[in-house]
Amino acid sequence: MAGLRFLVGAMMSKLATPTIPNTTCFTRSLILHPQPHSLAMNNNHNHNNKLDEIFTLKRHLRSKIKKDLRSMDPLLRSHQDDAIQSLILDAPWFKSSKRLCAYISCSALREVDTSKILQNVLQNPTKDGETKTLYVPRVEDKNCHMRMLNISRMDDLIANSMNILEPAPVDADGNDRKDVMLADEPVDLLLLPGLAFDKTGRRLGRGGGYYDTFLSKYQELARQRNWKQPLLVALSYSVQIVEDGVIPLTPSDVFIDALVSPSGYIPITAAAQEILP
């Protein structure tokens, strides 16, 4: 880990790592200082090499965390699953949420269990007596394209080629399921999976780019509609929280607002602090 930390540290100092999401960090210097053609080509080449190196570092960190997750004692994992889900179910920000996106956990991938949360969302009315609206992921193609579709029962789900449960695009009556990107009202909460997280809001996913792509599109939609941005909360076993700065950053990474681990709710952004009771 020390070697990995050194490598990441060295790369990040060369790349002037932002502390807030900055999707333009690689290209900004080229825009500000236009260069002769050959120099620009050379810079492009260096830029791609650096990106390749960072994606390689991401792959290494993914392998390490997957190994740690596989060697986790099943009983400890089950205790942590219960602790995380109870923290969420008891949280005022969860209780008051009206529309949310959540992932359908896959135990083979050693993801934090969401079954109790989903069950609660689909069964319980909110404080105002309303039922929450739930959207869950559906992978549409390998090109980072995932949609969040509305479901009202767990029976609405079928296993995809990756063995993750997801909704069919149409419901039992043959109607298109509501896509969160086309909904009239905003989601207030997103419960996110991932492989590694830090307390500055960095998140390392499984490498598909599905969540980063979806999140930046949804944030843009919320900006256009003048909606409040949804709270991005990731669920994490203790072993998935790594030292700040260890997670390599690439330009499309979206930062999270808060983490829930077995030791509690960890607010990161001002939005996440504000909702503390």
Ligand X SMILES: Nc1ncnc2c1ncn2[C@@H]1O[C@H](COP(=O)(O)OP(=O)(O)OP(=O)(O)O)[C@@H](O)[C@H]1O
Backbone angles phi, psi at 169, to 5 degrees: -65, -25
CA distances from 219 to 2, 179, 250, 256 (A): 35, 15, 18, 12
Q: Which does 162 bind (CB under 5 to 8 A by kind): ligand X, ligand FFO, none?
A: ligand FFO
For the residues of 9-40, what is the DSSP string, one character each? HHHHHHHT--SS--TTTTTHHHHHS---HHHH
Question: What is the Cα–Cα distance from 140 to 213, expressed in whole angstroms?
Answer: 13
CB of 150 to ligand X, least distance (A): 21
Element (H, E) at 118: helix 115-123
Residue nearest ligand FFO by beta-carbon distance = 210
Chain residues binding ligand FFO by CB under 6 A are 66, 103-106, 109, 111, 137, 139, 146, 162, 164, 193, 205-206, 208, 210-211
Measured from the CB of residue 217, what is the shortest distance to ligand FFO in angstroms? 14
Q: How far is the CB of 122 from ligand X (least distance, A)?
A: 24
Q: How far apart are CA 86 and CA 103, in angstroms?
A: 17
Pick from ligand FFO, ligand X, none: which does 104 bind, CB < 5 to 8 A by kind? ligand FFO
- Site for ligand X (CB under 6 A): which residue of 9, 92, 169, 207? 207
Residue span binding ligand X (CB under 6 A) among the ranges 75-83, 129-137, 203-211, 231-239: 203-211
Work out what residue 150 binds among ligand X, ligand FFO, none; the CB cut-off runs from 5 to 8 Å by kind. Answer: none
One-letter amino acid for residue 30 of the chain: L
> What does the alpha-carbon distance between residue 229 and residue 186 come to, in Å, rounded to a whole number?
8
C-alpha pair distances (Å), 192 with each of 170, 242, 251: 24, 17, 19
Cβ atoms of 151 and 134 within 8 Å: the answer is: yes
The one-letter amino acid code at 13 reads S
Of these partners, ligand FFO, ligand X, none, which one is at the site of residue 137 (CB under 5 to 8 Å by kind)? ligand FFO
Tokens 């009206």 correspond to 98
Interaction of residue 210 with ligand X, rule CB under 6 A: yes
Distance CA 239, CA 67 (A): 10
> What's the token pair of residue 11?
């790369």
* Minimum gap (Å) between residue 70 Cβ and ligand FFO: 10
Task: Give the residue with the Cβ less far from ligand X, 186 or 209.
Answer: 209
Site for ligand X in 120-159 (CB under 6 A): 144
Q: Does 208 bind ligand X (CB under 6 A)?
A: yes
Q: Applying CB under 6 A, does 262 fall inside the site for ligand X?
A: no
We find the least distance from the C-beta atom of residue 213 to ligand X, in angstroms, to be 7
- Is 55 near ligand X (CB under 6 A)? yes
Closest approach of ligand FFO to the CB of residue 214, in Å: 9
Kindly list the residues in this chain that would bind ligand X in the complex (CB under 6 A).
Answer: 51-52, 55, 58, 144, 204-212, 250, 252-253
